[in-house]
Amino acid sequence: VLSGCGVYDGTEIHEASAVLVHLSRGGAEVHMYAPDMPQMHVVDHSKGQPAETESRNVLVESARIARGKITSLAKLTTTDHDAVIFPGGFGAAKNLSTFAVDGKDCKVNREVERVLKDFHKAGKPIGLCCISPVLAAKVLTGAEVTVGHEEEEGGKWPYAGTAGAIKEMGGKHCVKEMVFSLTPSYEAHVDAKNKVVTTPAFMCETELHNIFDGIGAMVKNVLKLTGK
């Protein structure tokens, strides 16, 4: 499930690409979805500032990542899929929810909430990375997720405050590292009860290959939980 195209106002492109590579390597058949709705705003990524006169559609922008093969989120059902994965990027906190503005008091997009609840009810795994675990924390009461560490540690974890918001929303936050490990579960947290798998990704200031490997651990565990 995508939320646009670009870290500051949509899906983090490197994360989406990593998810797709690891799914491909795992032999999964992938379908991509996004809500058909306007973005919260458009950010000029060369300046890191909102472009006040622009407006873009989440589905249309997400199609850039999907190479045009994308469907409205309203058509995503559990009957046609074994699992669902949400990459990160500020789009998860701006378009899929209002977390970027409202924090713990955020609202989750109606279709996103439906998808999360439907997959949870069906006992099918849900994967999330970077900021997107807040979606599960808000919708699935008591879900265990990780966004990495709970302290900024001199800028290594610049969004560490998210962990506190997750706790205030009723979720359980589990501290995880974002470094290379021979044990994949080290970089991803598996909530076996709720079948929710999360990894910090760009919540940490680290090398790209560490982020890629962490996402790989998340995808591997999601595929394992499908039992296929």
> Which positions are catalytic?
130
Degrees to nearest 5, angle at CA 220 with 216 and 223: 140
Widest pairwise Cα distance in the chain: 48
3 state DSSP class of 57: strand
Closest listed residue to residue 41, CA positions, set 85, 84, 95: 95
- φ, ψ of residue 23 in degrees (nearest 5): -65, -40
Token couple for 6:
């670009």
126's CB contacts (< 8 A; 6+ apart) are 83, 84, 85, 86, 116, 119, 120, 136, 194, 195, 196, 197, 222
CA 204 to chain centre: 14
Beta bridge partners of 191: 196
Closest listed residue to residue 99, CA positions, set 64, 52, 51, 145: 145
Contact call for residues 30 and 84 (beta carbons, < 8 A) = no
Contact call for residues 96 and 112 (beta carbons, < 8 A) = yes
